[in-house]
Every structure is written in structure tokens, then in C-alpha cells.
Amino acid sequence: MNVRCPQCGATFQAQVGPVTCPSCMHSFTVAPEGRPWLTLDVRRPSGELLGRMDRHLVRERLYAGALTGLEQVRPAGTSGAAAAAGDWVDLNTRPEFAEVLQLIGADLGARRIAQQQLRGWRKTGSAVLPIRSSAPADRAVGRALDDEPKSRVSWALLAVAAGLALGIVALLWGAVG
């Protein structure tokens, strides 16, 4: 069957199961035809049930910002022992939503780090690089790596002084001889 990569959009032949895209090397799982999750039960990571939605409504809510991508989903109608077994999966692991999450720029790694900081699991934001810089744009970035001290005398001034000294020596030499 023809499969489309959710990461780069390349189309290629593949079978049902785990697949790696030959163009971008993205790994994802191909579901059998007729078995995509059209209707989903959606809940927040806290366990609060948001209700039953079709995947188009999930995409619309992702675009609108009502869903963050950290929610959990399962096929609609799953209940009883199967529901108790923990068949919920993270929304961001479903290949049909990968393109939407990429388009809205959901930075799930930064959100997880922030949640860990709030819960006390992470003491610093060590994985988050600061964007702000106090140095002006015209300054050299590697200033601390510069081993040579900056010379306060300009080369032009040094050349003028050397020329003047040679001129004086020439005048004195001509006056003596």
C-alpha cells in the first residue's frame, strides 16, 4: 500500500507495522487500512476527560490552542477492562497529528521541562538555552577566548611616529655631514 510520511510528506510503498521513511528516516507505525482512529476519547494528562472528538475536531482544537499536544487519546468506545488496562496513548505519538503539531510549533520538550520544574523534579532549566544576550551585536562573540590583549596604540599612529623619527635622523645626518 502507498504510505505518506507524516514528517516530510514523502510517499512510498510499505506494509502494515513499523516503518522508516527512506527520505527523512522518520520512524512511525502504519495502521491497517480502515482502522485509523476516526473518533477518539481525549483526556488531559491530569486524567480529566475532555470527551469524544473526531480527529478533524482534534486538529481544529490544536490549531486554536484549546489542545496542547500533551493530551492522551484512545479509540472511542473502549471501556471496561481494556480501559482499565491503560490503553491511553499520548496525542503527540499518533502519526496523524504529527504534521499539525509541527505546524503549530508545539515545543513539547520545553513544556515537559517546565512541568518537571513546577513539580520539583528538575531544579534548573538546564536543557533550555537562554535566548537573551546582554552583549551588543557588534561585539565579538568569542571575546573570552582571545588570549592577546588589545593594543591601545593604533598602527597608523605608530607608522607616522616612525616616519617622523626617520625624517629627523635624516635632517640631523645631513646637517652634520
User: C-alpha grid cell for residue 107?
Assistant: 515545543
With b meaning 16 or more CB within 10 Å and e meaning fewer, what string describes 10-33? eeeebeeeebebeeeebebeeeee
Report pTM.
0.41
Q: How far apart are CA 169 and CA 113, in angstroms?
A: 73
User: C-alpha grid cell for residue 103?
Assistant: 505546524
DSSP string, 75-127: ETT--THHHHTT--EEGGG-GGGHHHHHHHT--HHHHHHHHHHHHTS-SS-TT
Q: Where are the beta strands (DSSP E) in the chain?
A: 2-4, 11-13, 17-20, 27-30, 39-43, 49-54, 72-75, 89-90
The pLDDT mean for the chain works out to: 74
The tens digit of pLDDT for each residue in 1-39 reads 778 888 888 888 888 788 899 989 988 887 766 555 678
Q: Is the pLDDT of residue 165 over 90?
A: yes
